Amino acid sequence: MRDASSPPTKVLMVEDNPGDARLVQVLLAEVGGFDIAWKQDMREAGDWLADNSPDAVLLDLSLPDSHGVATIDAMRRIGPDLPVIVFTGLSDEAVGMAAVKRGCQDYLVKGQGDGQLIARTIAYAVERKSIERERAQSAERMKRVLLQTVKAVSLTLEMRDPYTAGHQRRVAQLATAIGERLGFDPDRLEGLHTGALIHDLGKINVPSDFLSRPGKLSDAAFGVIKSHPDVGAEIVDGIDFPWPVSTMIRQHHERLDGSGYPDGLRGDAIILEARILAVADVVEAISSHRPYRPSLGLDAALKEIQSKSGSHYDPAVVEACLGVIHDNGNAVFRDDHDLPLVT
């Protein structure tokens, strides 16, 4: 039972048939609690939505300026977060399924049901959309906590290894810029950035002396360092990231010709994110100071990836990296808060 003191439910009805529109208005007026705005085509609906926010939309699929499922797509563009109920004279299960797949909350056939049915359908659509929004907000909050934890772990690793402080952050910045140039969407960029921020997580298992030693390491010590991709992947393997972070970490030292480690993977067996990390990692490492040598400079880093493009490194990734460096120079190694697409 609707609370009489609650505000009316605002409904946008997009319907080109005046008779059908009037019938819905009468039926819902009998039920009570609805404020209906009637528009006869998508243009009128778009103009009205520019200044108004309805609780739900009743959408006919046969309009003067739109027809069929394309009408749903048009409504999604102008009101992406609105609960939409398809309201049509066509009783076709395939159309109903197509409507649901496109995000519509329900499907009503004209002439089937009374005002109570229409009212219940609208109420259900509004409630269902509300639950969807709450779930999305909850998931977003959880993702923010997860990313904040990732950044904290990254900073912890830097504190443990001050000689390479900032390495993971700089690799993350360059890798994300490369991914953006390769056409990654914002969500995939966020995943790439996250994996890059902790790509050396496994070094937590490496003695600090090995990491900061200025001289040449023994084969045994270098073998311990080479275990870090495997160790890092194992650490995060149980975390339900929405991206292949564990695989990125495990594969970031793999090379196209199979000469990398830990698994000696070749070609497309290495995911694209890991191929990007491989290039960003070596460019940052060569152009930065290390305990065992001074910085060799950005030019030397670019010569390295160019000389091994196609053998060690993905040619498309190398080309994208060269373009990023050409456009930005050292400025690409900027702080996290300056990154435009990852928050």
Q: In 242-274, which positions are buried (b, 16+ CB within 10 angstroms) versus exposed (e)?
A: ebbbbbbbbbbbbbbeeebbbeebeeeebbbbb
Residue 292, amino acid? Y
Taking alpha carbons only, the member of 81, 85, 77 closest to residue 13 is: 85
| Beta strand 84-88 pairing with 34-39 | unpaired
Lookup result for tokens 């790509």: 199
The residue annotated as part of the active site, out of 10, 203, 303, 308, is 203
**For this structure, is 101 an active site residue?**
no
> Using CA atoms, how far apart are residues 163 and 167, in angstroms rounded to an integer?
9
Q: Report helix angle 298-307 to 315-328, nearest 10.
A: 160
> Using CA atoms, how far apart are residues 116 and 118, in angstroms rounded to an integer?
5
Tokens representing 10 are 């605002």
Write down how long the chain is. 343
Catalytic residues: 203
